Structure 1
Amino acid sequence: MAEQTDTGRLIYGCMGLGGSWGDEPYTAQDIAVAEAAVEAALDSGINTFDHADIYRKGKAEAVFGEILGRDPELRKRIVVQTKCGIRLQDGDRPGIYDLRGTTIVERVEQSLARLRTDVLDVLLLHRPDPLADPDDVAEALTSLHRQGLVRRFGVSNMSAEQIAHLQRSLEMPLVANQLEMSLRQRGWVEAGVVVNTPQAAAVGFPLGTLEYCRANGVQVQAWGSLAQGRYSGRQETPDEQATARLVEALAKEKDTSPETILLWWLQRHPAGVVPVVGTVRPERIRACRDAATGEPRLSHEEWYDLWLTARGAPLP
């Protein structure tokens, strides 16, 4: 199987595939929905598909595996990425995080079976586990790599210090960090400008994370990139309404879609942000085409206009 290394400008997030979050099996209709979404992503220039073992209780991976089973040649054209490290609620037992080495290996083997592939291009550790031993994690990742089961590794929802702490135990470089980032979830950009102000404590995003990723070649992936439609569909506050109007105006001016404007805002940042698009609606996936196939056409001033309008307040 040819190795895919380039994730492209956009990633398709598969969390919406596979039907419900219940225990019932997926259906033929769920497979059809997934096929339509995958086709729209490929038509839009997206070649990377992001999963997690918990999405729809494994059904997202399984439905995708059905698609790969029907078209074996497709696997050679795409990058398959999945995540592990979260254990969902089980009866009365609440959900927890689990990055023990044995658990990682077990979850990867299960993902490979559901996805009907013999190798993962990228495995991300989904959430930080306070009980994780970096040496134990590194041993598991190294074993998976040596067996040819996983090509590259990354993390999700981790700070610079957490990545560096794990990297010290791992010979292979961590290649990605997936974070919630959008025009609505702006902590990643706010953290850099509220230093030495009273607002700094309220931001929450770990300052220095983007800088660490840029300095160490860690790709920054943005989940939730379309802000759940807040600026390209429904709006609930005056700031969201004003931002949606500006997004629409810029889209018309540049002959593109509102979704593309939102993605360009992320891509315009010099950290090289790669947004993850998670909608299952083919028309909305195709609305992202310009962000997948070309450079972001936002000026310095337009980028700030979007930020300040969504912010609803001047910079400090």
Structure 2
Amino acid sequence: MNSGVMTDQQQQLTDGRPRRRRTARQRRKQLVGLLFVAPALALVLLFFVIPLGMAFWMSLHNWPLLGKPRFIGLGNYARLLDDAQFWASMRFTVYYTLIVTVAIFSIAFPLALFVEKTRSLTKLYRTAFFLPVVVGFGSASLLWAWLLDVDSGLFSPAAERLGLMDQRVNLLAGFDTTFWSIIIMVVWKTAGFNMIILLTGLQGISTEVQEAARIDGASPWQRFRRITLPLMRRTIALALILSVAGSMLAFDQFYIIADGGPQNSTVTAVYWIFSQSFGSFRLGYGAALSMVLLVILVFISVVQLRLLRNPEGM
């Protein structure tokens, strides 16, 4: 009996050692995994989470540029409800986002379809279409501000010399010409980036599927509508979210080219936040406006993901 009991205890000890070893090995793997992601987590914490928390804390204060901040709770949020200029800037930002997103996709998708097929000079076309993306928004805005200048620019003086106009026209004097000039600049600047994103989605579609549909008699439009678009749903969702988020945060082009004019008709939400924070030195109120804009962006992104989700899920 004693020998039998000892044998069972020995068996339990023998079974327990591998279990403890497996547990220790799993812990080491988890620790190694945490060490690998630690730099990324530190960057996210340092450059996103902490600044976000500080901005929210500032939004609860009357925070002047100089002087001691004063806690006012939700006072800044109550104030923005009556800020007519902020809501006007939000309406303009949404209008701009809708127009520029449609314009970008109207150019980027055909470009992606064009450079997706292997032909001579395809690499040159891809490089040429993508090249404006390399230019920063500030530099591109400065370039177009010069091109649109009525005296020393290119467009209006060239049109006059070619006889297309009787006299030079200031393209930045009216809302329509200013707005559409900026739209053209943004499309020129960003269409190549969206083209590359859409191109990766096109290249991910199996050629066998397209060939089978072609053999079955499907027209190019039917293949595009029934095969290409459904299979590119995730890629389109990514490009759409990036485009909408970037458009909602538009600032450089309206600040540099139009300076919010004419008559504050091109003031975007970020432009108004900048004006309140660093023009009027109401840092707390500017932080509150930033928090509201962040919530709106998150809401729009969630709605986009739900609308573009597959029946099987993203």
One fold, TM greater than 0.5?
Answer: no
Higher strand share: 1
Give the number of the structure whose alpha-carbon radius of gyration is greater.
2
TM-score for both structures, normalised by structure 2? 0.22
Could you tell me the TM-score, scaled by structure 1's length? 0.22
Higher helix share: 2
